[in-house]
Amino acid sequence: MTDQQWETLLAVIRGEDIRPLPVGFIIDSPWLPNWAGYSFLDYFTDGKVWFQANMKAIEMFPEAIFLPGFWSEYGMSTEPSAFGAVCTWEENEFPFAKKLLCSAEDIDRVVKPNPKKDGLLPFAIKRIQHFQSEIEQASHKVRFAVARGPLNIASFLMGTTEFMLALSEDTERIHQLLAIISDFLAEWMNHQRECFPTIDGMLMLDDIVGFIGEKDFKEFGLPYLKKIYDSLDVSVKFFHNDAPCKVCAPYLAEIGINLLNFGIQHTLNEMKAWTDNKITLLGNIPPRDVLALGTPEEVKKNTTELIESLHDRSKLILSCGGGMPPEVSSDNIRTFIGTVETLTCE
């Protein structure tokens, strides 16, 4: 992210009037490798391929803010690997972390990983370090510490169904597990900032938050998310949950979050109301059915309808509802950016 893009992001979060409305996308391995002409495995194992794919995106779409920017990740395997999860890799499929815990009782043997040494985490750091000078020569900087969230990681370690059942059947052990994961994530976020002092933002991704009710969110979500967000003093506290967000929305400001990427289950107007307009929103045309599978004409139509539906254009970055999905074409991205520029320039 360039200095100008970073200042624009901060201005939107402060509620300043930005015209045209900014456009931003979360981009990572589901979209970048194949779009840039590489296989998934080459993207994950060859630092040069990773760097060139990211450079291609920022050079082709300089008007867009790509978040978090030069994201060094290994799909959903990054953090689970630090706990010892076996990760499977194929040439052109998403990597997958196999379940580590066979029962809630296995939580008793979970040990907090060392983010400086364990799993794929040192590789994620080294990848950026190897290309840091090239990133900065392109007028970009590393701005975000990034991690999957505590419920998300717990669901990979246990299995989603097993984790959801244990929320009610073995609450003490679930608190034990989430406390370990949260302490680890706080250390992991801080380690990233120690390695890259230009970091002034944090991004956490946790879709499991959207699958629990308010009571469970207040017990198992809010305190652990808040602990992690409180652990790092940065200007941008970004959260991604493209599962339903109505339950968590009223609590996001209390957690410290000031930027949210959410899905398509709710409208921008609804999310503004539920967050009391305290959170900057990143969204939300349908990512798969419109941005990926739609024609440019359909992208333009849907984007126009979204803009015309807005009651309040403050604290908004227009995007899709979630991260950039596979198979989004360059033409559709150009159409989205152009439509936003045309309709929100005044």
Contact criterion met (CB below 8 Å) for 142 and 62:
no
- Answer yes or no: CATH 3.20.20.210 is held by domain 3-344: yes
Sign of the C-alpha dihedral computed for residues 255, 196, 13 and 289 taken in this order? negative
Find, among 340, 321, 254, the residue nearest to 23 by Cα. 340
CA distances (Å), origin 205, targets 129, 146, 274: 23, 8, 20
Q: Is 90 exceeded by the pLDDT of residue 123? A: yes
Provide the β-strand partners of residue 262.
241
* pLDDT tens by residue, 289-325: 999 999 999 999 999 999 999 999 999 999 999 999 9
From the number of C-beta atoms within 10 Å of its C-beta (0-12, 13-18, 19+), residue 176 rates as: middle
Residue 57 confidence (pLDDT): 98
Output DSSP code: residue 112. Answer: -
Q: Is 90 exceeded by the pLDDT of residue 213? A: yes
Q: What is the C-alpha to C-alpha distance for residues 128 and 48, in angstroms, rounded to an integer?
A: 11
- Mean pLDDT across the chain: 97
Q: What is the C-alpha to C-alpha distance for residues 299 and 211, in angstroms, rounded to an integer?
A: 29
Residue 231 confidence (pLDDT): 98
Residue 89 confidence (pLDDT): 97
Contact criterion met (CB below 8 Å) for 61 and 68:
no
User: Span 27-52, mean pLDDT?
Assistant: 97
Q: Is 90 exceeded by the pLDDT of residue 42? A: yes
* pLDDT tens by residue, 132-167: 999 999 999 999 999 999 999 999 999 999 999 999
Percent of the chain's residues with pLDDT above 70: 100
Count CB-CB contacts under 10 A for residue 134. Answer: 14
Q: Is 90 exceeded by the pLDDT of residue 168? A: yes
- Beta pairing, strands 23-26 & 64-67: parallel
Find, among 262, 274, 275, 336, the residue nearest to 306 by Cα. 336
Residue 128 confidence (pLDDT): 98
Q: Is 90 exceeded by the pLDDT of residue 221? A: yes
> Is it true that the peptide bond before 250 is cis, omega within 30 degrees of 0?
no
- Beta pairing, strands 93-97 & 87-90: antiparallel
Residues 6+ apart with CB under 8 A from 82: 113, 114, 115, 118, 119, 120, 121, 184, 188
First to last CA, the chain: 25
* pLDDT tens by residue, 233-251: 999 999 999 999 999 999 9
Percent of the chain's residues with pLDDT above 90: 100
The helix (run of H) or strand (run of E) holding residue 339 is helix 330-344
Q: Is 90 exceeded by the pLDDT of residue 216? A: yes
Q: Is 90 exceeded by the pLDDT of residue 14? A: yes
pLDDT band, very low/low/confident/very high, at 346 (cuts 50, 70, 90):
confident
Count CB-CB contacts under 10 A for residue 254. Answer: 11
Coil, strand or helix at 9: helix
Residue 280 confidence (pLDDT): 98
Provide the β-strand partners of residue 261.
240, 282
Count CB-CB contacts under 10 A for residue 59. Answer: 9
* pLDDT tens by residue, 272-288: 999 999 999 999 999 99
Q: What is the C-alpha to C-alpha distance for residues 54 and 43, in angstroms, rounded to an integer?
A: 10
Q: What is the C-alpha to C-alpha distance for residues 81 and 122, in angstroms, rounded to an integer?
A: 11
Q: Delimit the domains of the chain by residue range.
A: 3-344
* pLDDT tens by residue, 187-204: 999 999 999 999 999 999
Find, among 231, 145, 121, 241, the residue nearest to 183 by Cα. 231
